Amino acid sequence: MIKGTTKLLGVIGHPVEHSLSPAMHNAAISHLGVDFVYLPFPVKPDDLKAAIAGFAAIGVRGFSITIPHKQAILPLLSEVSPIARAIGAVNTVYLTDKGWCGTNTDVEGFLAPLQTPPTPLYQGGAKDAISAVESCPPPDRGGARGGSDWSQKVAVILGNGGAARAVVAGCAQLGCAQIHVVGRSEQNLAEFQQSWVNCPMPVQNLQVHTWDNLSNLISQADLLVNTTPVGMYPQGEKSPVAAGELDRISAGAIVYDLIYTPNPTQFLKDAQLRGARTIDGLPMLVQQGAAALKIWLNKESVPVDVMRQALRQHLGLD
């Protein structure tokens, strides 16, 4: 029940009506019995600065950010975490005594289903590289590797957009021996690679390739990740990789699609037929949201299963 004491959380974007975040966050809030509510706030690009000032004025405790504001909000924040600077985008904002602080929980969301048991970010080797960078006080999220040794593993990432940046950061946190990014434009790929050289979390073992090298890369991949929109609803019959090329995937390799609808995608169906282990985009969506909710509520844990179930029902997967 919303009362005068109810604290506000939300998501900003334009448009924002399609966001799944209210469904999963409000399910968790109800389960926990805390006096919060999570609302969608449509904010046009020209109104972003005014909206952020207004949020502070009415006591909003924190908010998620979706397209088109993930980069535009950076200069409006008092502090930005190293992981968000490395990715070049913020998806979660929370209030500190210094003002609005931005971070990015997409890396934690991406890593969660790859780690057994999952371990939080900001520990291990990557921390040494970024510790000297002034940043928000990082929420206590800890380390990188989880229960598997990735030091001899090869990651191949399809696409070189914003989602690919979070995946590259995640693979660096895991300690992958090689990280290969596949794209269509040589110029964009070169810029993508260069952007990691002097960023807050340098990635030295990153190589970039055009799409015509994909077949050879697939045969080497221990982890193959689709960050492109190819295969997303309503074009669920499409796949970013031709079935013939996917024949080269090793049995037991992990094939991960950030798309969560349809579920599974054609890409994952093809991979399953070839003996690969598959992960769809729903765990990442849930876990990045759970990581943000822990920050806002200052809790060590939140009901991830409740959030997952709420999304599955909302998407008609049950």
Side chain identity, residue 210: T
Could you give the strand order of the β-sheet that contains 277-279, starting from the edge strand earlier in sequence? 206-210, 178-183, 154-158, 223-226, 254-257, 277-279
In the sheet that holds 79-80, the strands lie side by side as 36-42, 7-13, 62-65, 92-96, 99-103, 79-80
**CA nearest to 144, candidates 180, 174, 116:** 174
Greatest pairwise CA separation for the chain in angstroms: 60
From 3, 70, 127, 299, active-site residue: 70
CA distances from 113 to 37, 274, 278 (A): 27, 20, 10
Q: At a CB cut-off of 8 Å and minimum separation 6, what does 199 contact?
A: 85, 86
The kind and range of the H/E element at 206 are strand 206-210
Q: How far is CA 151 from CA 16, 125, 146, 173, 299, in A?
A: 39, 12, 12, 11, 32
Q: Catalytic residue at 238?
A: no
5 CB neighbour count, 10 Å cutoff:
6
Kindly list the catalytic residues: 70
